[in-house]
Amino acid sequence: MTTFPNLIGGEWTMGANSVPNVNPSDTNDIIGEAASATADEMNTAIEVAHAAQAGWGASTPQQRFDVLDTIATEILARKEELGELLAREEGKTLPEGIGEVARAGQIFKFFAGEALRIPGERLDSVRPGVEVDMRREAVGVIGLITPWNFPIAIPAWKAAPALCYGNAVVLKAAEAVPGSAWALADIIHRSGLPAGVFNLVNGRGSEIGPVMIDHPKVAAVSFTGSVQTGRSVAQACAKNLKKVQLEMGGKNPMVVLDDADLDVAVGACLNGAFFSTGQRCTASSRLIVTEGIYDDFVAALSKAVSALKVGDARDNATQIGPVIDDRQLAKDLEYVEIAKAEGAKLACGGEKIDGKGHFMAPALFVDTTNDMRINREEVFGPVATVIKAKDYDEALAIANDTEFGLSAGICTTSLKYATDFKARSKAGMVMVNLPTAGVDYHVPFGGTKGSSYGSREQGRYAVEFYTTVKTSYTQA
């Protein structure tokens, strides 16, 4: 067993309080003890970040490149080791955990390159002899609030651009995954980054989250988590005139048309709905299938779901790991009962699996309607539903009939329908013959409606959130 301390001002500290880090595959396995910060410790981290930011903001592109590239290189070199830690504490299968770590390294590599090409612009003024230049500058101290389901990738895709553009960072990671956050912080700490520019503060969100959001020296907050908490964060940031970026929930549709390749459709839906134990905001939880292929699709997908191997995340045979904790498991099982009570037909799964961890058989409901709670509310677990649609137009209408708009997909061999769906889908990301979950690290990530608020994350679009624009006039 080990400890996972906070990193404040370049110093590791456990503080007075700690909480156990428990393996969801085996609750008898205590991975370590994680620091649980107080409000005073959060205040200290913000103050030291503010003091350190001016120097880092004045650093050269080469200095930033060197630091970010060093971070990326170590992450990629240790992806198997860090992937195993991630699988052990979060419950992703080992291949998924290693893949997530690799993605974190790739993100830092990308933003190392971006540090050398921070955009700007020069224009002639409408007045003779006057030049105008626009440059991007750091915002200041950025507060990052990250969830447990991508415990290395999401902190990476927030911290990397923040550092790239000269900001200081205070990361408040999820309590359930302190080991992954600590491992990332340790790599960043040893990269040559000046002390205080990056700080890790673990603790109860209800206690230290408001301290971060309300502190006058935090200029912006980037949050990924639940809709309810995200709305509270937005309201608090608006009150304090802070820049805010929110990534929240999803109830993502996957449309399967009569002309779809059945194997492709089943594979995309199986992956999108159930991999990572369905604990992805981009998971395809609503499968909208047209009449002609409906019966064949339901039969094939039911067979595939029933065959999924559920077990310890680090077992090579496992395809679906545990749910993150007992509260999430109870929520998932409750939604199974809600769906049954509404008249949805359970095709397979849906029961708790006895063992040392938080295991559940993946649940597939068929013959559902879009007005059922199971199709309106985000479950965030291995639960998917099938909705029958008359034709493409009805399927599209059902897909768009949701308060969310993160990701959407369609399986079809028709260029006509694929093109139309990409244009008319009310989602920020659209997939054709691919799972709704699984995106590249170098392009924008984000949605519409209740799924996202503010600037896009990832890729070159991240510059919009992590910088502010200064316009300068010069007369020679």
User: Which residues are known to be catalytic?
Assistant: 247, 281
Neighbouring CB atoms inside 10 A of 191's CB total 19
Tokens linked to 167:
């900001």
Residue at 54: amino acid letter: A
CA distance 145 to 246: 10
Q: Quick check: 456 and 464 in contact, CB under 8 A? A: yes
CA distance 108 to 101: 11
Residue at 457: amino acid letter: E
SS3 of residue 141 by DSSP: strand
Q: In 55-167, at which residue ranges do the beta strands (DSSP E only) sit?
A: 120-124, 130-138, 141-145
Distances (CA, A) of 369 to 138, 172, 292, 343, 372: 48, 39, 18, 9, 6
CA distance 326 to 236: 30
Q: What are phi and psi of 358, to 5 degrees?
A: -95, 75
413's CB contacts (< 8 A; 6+ apart) are: 259, 260, 261
Q: Quick check: 168 and 49 in contact, CB under 8 A? A: yes
